[in-house]
């Protein structure tokens, strides 16, 4: 019997993320090649950049001494528009995403309704808010109403999809039990589905409130009302201290929203 001698690795090594060595090296080579080519095609205007660095100093000092007062009425107007837009669009979006979400759940809706609702949701999700805003401003005119429509539409795209996925993942034995008592479709939804998806729906709605506020600052850039318009004007005039004031307000409100929704979510779940 021949002695089988097999050389064993003496040192232990961490297993790599990608097990196949060839795949790993090819991926690394492709990534490096891309980085070199990609970085090569970035055009940088160095004189403009060095000018900008001086300006960034001014911007940072604006953050240390934000100017809330000299544009106070613009900022107030923008904030009121942003906040009202956020509240109304979240309520409208959530209210509409419930029927769309139920319609887009395969275990509750017939096939034709399922296809329709999924198509509407996919459409609402496909385009970035700002592109929707451009078109809605063109149709409905400037102002927060167009922003309200934009945010409601993207809320439907976000919430209805997640709700539908949740309903489809709901425990079928509970639905079966409710159905076995002779419940109608509405009773099935209220007693079988709602208790299972409600906590997450509440959490997601609060999260969406947060997102809608952040987005309301963006849609103003294309004329759909809100604090974004104020910010855009301030930056166009190189008034960095007013812009810093707006940014600090946005950060503050988002933090407050997150803290508040954290409290509510803990109570619900």
Partner 1 sequence: MPIVARSDGRRSWRHIMPAMELARFAGWLALVALTVFCWRVMTQDTIWAFVENAPQQAGDIFARMVPPRWSYAERLWRPLWDTINIATMGTLLAIVLATPVAFLAARNTTPSVAFVRPIALLIIVSSRSINALIWGLLLVTIIGPGVLAGIIAIALRSIGFIGKLLYEAIEEIDESQVEAIRATGASPAQTMIYGIAPQIMPAFASISVFRWDINIRESTVLGLVGAGGLGLALEASLNVLAWPQVTVILIMILATVVASEWLTARVRQHII
Which residue has 């803290």 as its token pair? 259
The least CB distance from residue 121 to partner 1, in Å, is 14
The least CB distance from residue 201 to partner 1, in Å, is 15
Judged by beta carbon, residue 3 or residue 17, the one nearer partner 1 is 17
The least CB distance from residue 98 to partner 1, in Å, is 14
List C-alpha distances in Å: 34 to 22, 23, 214, 232: 18, 16, 33, 35
Q: Name the nearest CA neighbour of 121 among 144, 96, 148, 149.
A: 96
Judged by beta carbon, residue 58 or residue 106, the one nearer partner 1 is 58
Judged by beta carbon, residue 60 or residue 72, the one nearer partner 1 is 60
Judged by the rule CB under 8 A, the positions of this chain that interact with partner 1 are 14, 17, 34-35, 38-39, 41-45, 48-49, 51-53, 55-56, 59, 80-81, 83-85, 87-88, 91, 126-128, 130-131, 134-135, 138-141, 143-145, 148, 214-215, 217-218, 221-222, 228, 231-232, 235-236, 238, 243, 247, 250-251, 254-255, 258
The least CB distance from residue 129 to partner 1, in Å, is 9
The least CB distance from residue 259 to partner 1, in Å, is 10
Judged by beta carbon, residue 87 or residue 113, the one nearer partner 1 is 87
CA distance 223 to 213: 16
Judged by beta carbon, residue 215 or residue 241, the one nearer partner 1 is 215
Counting beta carbons within 10 angstroms of the beta carbon of residue 71, is it exposed (0 to 12), middle (13 to 18) or buried (19 or more)? Answer: buried
List C-alpha distances in Å: 10 to 4, 6, 13, 19, 138: 17, 12, 10, 20, 70
Judged by beta carbon, residue 92 or residue 113, the one nearer partner 1 is 92
The least CB distance from residue 253 to partner 1, in Å, is 8
Return the exposure string of 203-236: e unless at least 16 CB atoms fall within 10 Å of the residue's CB, then b. bbbbbbbbbbbebbbbbbebbbbbbbbbbbbbee
CA distance 218 to 212: 10
């Amino acid at each position: 019997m021949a002695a089988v001698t097999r050389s064993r690795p003496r040192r232990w090594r961490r297993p790599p993320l990608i097990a196949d060595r060839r795949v790993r090296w090819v991926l690394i080579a492709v990534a490096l090649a891309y980085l070199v080519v990609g970085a090569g095609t970035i055009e940088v205007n160095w004189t403009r950049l060095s000018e900008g660095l001086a300006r960034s100093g001014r911007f940072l000092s604006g953050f240390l001494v934000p100017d809330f007062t000299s544009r106070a009425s613009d900022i107030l107007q923008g904030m009121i528009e942003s906040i009202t837009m956020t509240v109304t669009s979240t309520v409208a979006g959530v209210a509409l995403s419930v029927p769309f979400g139920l319609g887009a759940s395969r275990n509750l809706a017939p096939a034709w309704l399922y296809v329709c609702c999924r198509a509407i949701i996919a459409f609402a999700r496909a385009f970035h808010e700002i592109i929707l805003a451009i078109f809605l401003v063109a149709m409905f005119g400037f102002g927060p109403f167009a922003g309200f429509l934009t945010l409601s539409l993207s809320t439907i795209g976000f919430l209805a999809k997640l709700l539908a996925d949740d309903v489809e993942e709901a425990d079928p034995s509970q639905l079966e039990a409710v159905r076995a008592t002779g419940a109608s479709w509405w009773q099935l939804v209220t007693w079988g589905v709602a208790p299972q998806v409600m906590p997450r729906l509440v959490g997601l709605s609060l999260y969406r409130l947060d997102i809608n506020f952040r987005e309301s600052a963006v849609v103003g850039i294309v004329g759909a009302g809100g604090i974004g318009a104020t910010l855009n004007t301030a930056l166009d005039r190189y008034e960095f201290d007013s812009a810093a004031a707006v940014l600090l307000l946005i950060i503050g409100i988002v933090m407050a929203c997150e803290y508040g929704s954290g409290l509510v979510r803990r109570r619900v779940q």
